């Protein structure tokens, strides 16, 4: 199954090292393939370096695409993480 959703980066510093590490750790037990698309660049969300290279700042709109057997649950976790500012609130 494939699902896609747009999220807004709410962190004051954008997607910096701490949120990137949070995302990679969150995806470790998941089976689905996850990509982030920002400004016409698509990256593998399991790579900290790739997330950092997106250079997504505060209020950036990112398209998350999840493809796999646990796609819906994985998407729900990711949307929640973005909403919670990766625990930085």
Question: What residues are annotated to the active site?
Answer: 16
What is the C-alpha to C-alpha distance for residues 61 and 7, in angstroms, rounded to an integer?
Answer: 6
From CA 17, how far away is CA 72, in angstroms rounded?
Answer: 25
Q: Which residue in the block uniquely carries the two structure tokens 């949307």? A: 79
According to DSSP, the residues that pair with 44 across neighbouring strands are: 35
Cα separation, 85 vs 15, whole angstroms = 10
């Amino acid at each position: 199954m494939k699902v896609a959703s747009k999220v807004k980066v709410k962190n004051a510093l954008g997607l910096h090292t701490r949120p990137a590490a949070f995302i990679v750790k969150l995806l470790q037990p998941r089976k689905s393939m996850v990509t982030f698309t920002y400004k016409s660049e698509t990256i593998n969300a399991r790579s900290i370096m790739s997330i950092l290279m997106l250079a997504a700042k505060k209020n950036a709109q990112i398209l998350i695409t999840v493809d796999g057997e646990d796609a819906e649950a994985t998407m729900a976790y990711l949307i929640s993480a973005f909403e919670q500012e990766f625990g930085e609130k």
